[in-house]
Structure 1
Amino acid sequence: MTTFDAIIIGFGKGGKTLAVELSNHNWKVAVIERSNKMYGGTCINIACIPTKFLAHRAKQEQVKEVQDPKVRLALYDQAIQEKDELTAFLRQKNYNNLAQHENIQVFEGTASFVSDHEVQVTSDKETTVLSAPQIFINTGAETIIPNIPGARESQHVYTSTSIMDLKKLPKKLVIIGGGYIGLEFASIYRQFGSEVTILEGGSKFITREDRDVADAVYDVLSKKGIDLILNAKVIGLQDAQEGIILSYEVSGNAIELHVDAVLLATGRKPNVNGLNLEAAGVKLDERGAIQVDVHLRTSVSHIWALGDVKGGPQFTYISLDDYRIVKDDLFGNGTRRTEDRNNVPYSVFIDPPLSRVGLSEEEARQKKYNIKVAKLPAATIPRARLIQETDGFLKAIVDADTNKILGATLFCAESSEVINMVSMAIQMEQPYTFLRDHIFTHPTMSEALNDLFSQIKA
């Protein structure tokens, strides 16, 4: 048995950042990662970075507009190769960032608790037991495989991870699930030239957004040639001589589609398989996530959980903030808490991106706020005209009694950047006039905040 001051299970954003922090405090740290293909975590290897890179390359090359299918296929293949090179570079960089610290040792293998202080690491070569007084779990999330006949057996069914290793661009792609992950992949593959159909089981599209926002997103995706079918119940999947046959029902009508590939975008769940948490006494909540308190301590006080494995918003920047909470708990005054983390912005990288922070109009009305609503078409923004990306609109919700900004939804070009300014204004509890009267550079998308908040009448 080898003893450390801390064991970190998982090489994700929170875990790798914490490892360096602990090393800087002269802790001897063991970092366990089950695969050398996942050094650096989900974001840089199979999620944020590779997906956004593919979206960028498809748009940059205007692949969909290329008439020659051979050229289009070549551009896709090149983008996949460049994506692989980028993730390999970042993976090595992340490994080097830890390896350069003599107090940090990286173990490749599957982690399993033996007790609340001991973790067994099993690899192809050996089995090792590590011990530490402090343990941190940062194992992320994994794709939910729905109980659809043929889903696990088919050679043409992919997850959000495996589809990015597909070397041949599918001519016809069906995406099961109309959530944010499904929409991003629909946008990516449509830009590359695939015929894309989204099958959504629910009766409402992107349910957490206001209906005017959802309708605008639906219209833009439809205009780009993406078919979106609601109330679709997938019955089964069966491989054919070429491709796959997908069967589904809508309003009792059975329909078959013969396509090249099917993507499961049916959600992700905390990755706790094989951890043997029972041996450590670590409890799960009703959704299968690790239970944590406001300082991210589990039911066992010397074991913490960071990132997607503890449930909540599945963003790499949440995992990074989890590190800040743990750092403050260990070395600060313990005042940082998950309860203080409000108004977290997010972006869905479709084209144009959909970004939001705070309350929607519907949520604000449900909470009985007296509100004022501002809307601004993207087509009125000089920068949008300049870059010829005029789809979408901007929307803000303001508390009429206090003039504080309650939330904003930006469905427009470069919204993933602009939303952070709104988020900061909300966090600083500034009135809407702060952004209405702020001096922005020109021509930029951010200056549209002047015009957006000018729609609010005193």
Structure 2
Amino acid sequence: MKKIDVKNIVVGFGKGGKTLAKFLAVKGESVVVIEQSPRMYGGTCINIGCIPSKFLIVNGEKGLKFTEAAEKKAMLTGNLNLKNYHMIADEATAEVIDGKAKFVSDHEIEVMDAEGEVIAQLIGERIFINTGATPVLPPIPGLVDSRNVVTSTELMDLKQLPEHLTIIGSGYIGLEFASMFASYGSKVTVLDIFDNFLPRDDEDISKLVRSDLESRGIIFKLGVKIDAITDNSVEIINKEGKKVSILSDKILVATGRKPNTAGLGLENTNIQLGQRGEIVVNDKLETTVQNVWALGDVHGGLQFTYTSLDDFRIVSNNLYGDGKRSLSDRKNVPTSVFITPALSKVGLNEKDAKAAGIDYRLFKLAATAIPKSAVLNQSKGLLKALVDPETDKILGITIYAEESYETINLISLAIEVGLPYTLLRDKIYTHPTMTEALNDLFAAKNEVK
């Protein structure tokens, strides 16, 4: 058994942790990264999240057969996994240890193998927890016993296309998988106990998204009770009180994710947890124990790989920079849902502004008016922008249109630096592009009075 005194311990190989480990190792500091699954070198994004899912989405839209796309996806993630391992392991002062980390005190960690045997004992001057999030499994009878219930992790591993896919949960993760598998030809049914579809979005946007998804054959059953699950069906009670059986080859549970802190032994430390099991941190990502930080999904913030990367920037800046970066700087973070077409947002929408009593000017443009939409043969969608009537600054934008995940970054920057909407309206853009839609979106004729 190894006994190691090390300056830096990183628990978890996610985006923030791996980037920090590389940063510290390059500085010549000793670093040990603990990862319980060799499959997860590099974190969720490259192995079972953003990269493979978007790869499958893109190839589904191209008409590639699922079996071929799944095979190519596996090669892609395998290469990225290996690259990320060597990014850390090849550093002279860094080491990767495979095993399950468990705190035995504030700065002491045991590492156990798959059989539960302790293989290493570590004492770290600094510890960075980067264990991510894990799926929430609702207490539905039969769920844990069904051979065909999967989370997003197992669904990404499928080699054969399910004929009937049932998705429990109509949130963003559920919709991405619904759109993806529908593009390959699966019959997709989405279930949710709640009536409201995309409740945080404006009603005109959510209605349009649902209508477009339904036009592709996706069936929504909302406001239902999920009564039980078997190996090949989901039993629901619909709004009329009738019991309905939905045939299902695979059943995806997409009911949210929670911080992955169970089993870390945090009860043996003075690290404080919040109500959802998240690690409590301050504005600098410091926990309630000195020289212990939490990065990424585990501290309960936005669950995106790019915010985890920004967590790295905060920590590294406070260790070796001017110490000015903090969570308070994180404003106007753009988001994208990779359905077809994509739904992207930053800042306020109408629902937010009305709830907060904020006055605004509204601009709207149908995606059919954008020349690039015709080029892409994808003219569905709607753009909506809110502008401050006093300053002309952009308050927020929702873009439900092709390639919105690219345009949204420009808008995010414009909001961040306080540019007036007129600058984007009068800007010269390349043609044909989706970004040039900003010329027309902000034109006077498209203001909604």
**TM-score over 0.5 (shorter chain):** yes
Q: Do the aligned residues in 2 keep the contact of 1:365 with 1:371 (CA within 8 Å)?
A: no
Q: Which of 279, 301, 312 is equivalent to 1:290?
A: 279
Task: Give the equivalent residue in structure 2 for 1:66.
Answer: none
Give how far 1:97 is off. Answer: 1.0
Question: 1:49 and 2:41 equivalent?
Answer: no
DSSP 3-state at the match of 1:434: helix
Give how far 1:369 is off. Answer: 1.5
Question: 1:246 and 2:238 equivalent?
Answer: no
Q: Do the aligned residues in 2 keep the contact of 1:283 with 1:291 (CA within 8 Å)?
A: yes
Q: Do the aligned residues in 2 keep the contact of 1:18 with 1:327 (CA within 8 Å)?
A: yes
Q: Which of 229, 232, 238 is equivalent to 2:221?
A: 229
Task: Give the equivalent residue in structure 2 for 1:79.
Answer: 69
Task: Give the equivalent residue in structure 1 for 2:102.
Answer: 112
Q: Which of 3, 21, 30 is equivalent to 2:32?
A: 30
Q: Could you tell which deviates more after superposition, 358-367 or 170-179?
A: 358-367
Give how far 1:24 is off. Answer: 2.2
Task: Give the equivalent residue in structure 1 for 2:20.
Answer: 18
Within a 5 Å distance, the mapping from 1:49-448 to structure 2 comes to 49-61=51-63, 75-124=65-114, 127-239=119-231, 244-251=232-239, 252-448=241-437
Q: Could you tell which deviates more after superposition, 42-51 or 92-101?
A: 92-101
Q: Do the aligned residues in 1 keep the contact of 2:106 with 2:268 (CA within 8 Å)?
A: yes
Tell me how large the CA RMSD over aligned residues is. 1.2
Q: Do the aligned residues in 2 keep the contact of 1:356 with 1:409 (CA within 8 Å)?
A: yes
DSSP 3-state at the match of 2:288: coil
The count of corresponding residues between Structure 1 and Structure 2 is: 442
Structure 1 distance, partners of 2:81, 2:32, is 18
Gaps of 5+ in 2: none
Give how far 1:25 is off. Answer: 2.1
Give how far 1:253 is off. Answer: 2.1
Structure 1 distance, partners of 2:34, 2:248, is 40
The amino acid across from 2:183 in the alignment is: Q
Structure 2 distance, partners of 1:396, 1:417, is 16
Q: Which runs of 4+ in 1 moved over 4 A?
A: none
Give how far 1:79 is off. Answer: 1.0
Structure 1 distance, partners of 2:45, 2:118, is 28
Give how far 1:126 is off. Answer: 5.0
Give how far 1:281 is off. Answer: 1.2
DSSP 3-state at the match of 2:152: coil
DSSP 3-state at the match of 1:133: strand
Structure 2 distance, partners of 1:397, 1:184, is 26
Q: Do the aligned residues in 2 keep the contact of 1:294 with 1:338 (CA within 8 Å)?
A: yes
Structure 1 distance, partners of 2:130, 2:212, is 37
DSSP 3-state at the match of 2:344: strand
Deviations 1:227-248 (A, max 9, x none): 1111021110112xxxx12111
Q: Could you tell which deviates more after superposition, 161-170 or 208-217?
A: 161-170
Structure 1 distance, partners of 2:368, 2:447, is 19
Structure 1 distance, partners of 2:271, 2:168, is 33
Structure 2 distance, partners of 1:245, 1:11, is 36
Structure 1 distance, partners of 2:207, 2:386, is 18
The amino acid across from 1:450 in the alignment is: N
DSSP 3-state at the match of 1:114: strand
Structure 2 distance, partners of 1:301, 1:343, is 30
Give how far 1:267 is off. Answer: 0.5
Q: TM-score, normalised by structure 2?
A: 0.97
The amino acid across from 1:2 in the alignment is: I
Structure 2 distance, partners of 1:132, 1:386, is 56
DSSP 3-state at the match of 1:443: coil
Deviations 1:4-45 (A, max 9, x none): 111000000000000011112221000000011000000000
Q: Do the aligned residues in 2 keep the contact of 1:370 with 1:401 (CA within 8 Å)?
A: no
Structure 2 distance, partners of 1:402, 1:201, is 42
Structure 1 distance, partners of 2:430, 2:137, is 47
The amino acid across from 2:142 in the alignment is: G
Structure 2 distance, partners of 1:413, 1:312, is 28
Task: Give the equivalent residue in structure 2 for 1:68.
Answer: none
Structure 2 distance, partners of 1:52, 1:282, is 36
Q: TM-score, normalised by structure 1?
A: 0.95
Structure 1 distance, partners of 2:265, 2:134, is 17
Give how far 1:278 is off. Answer: 1.7
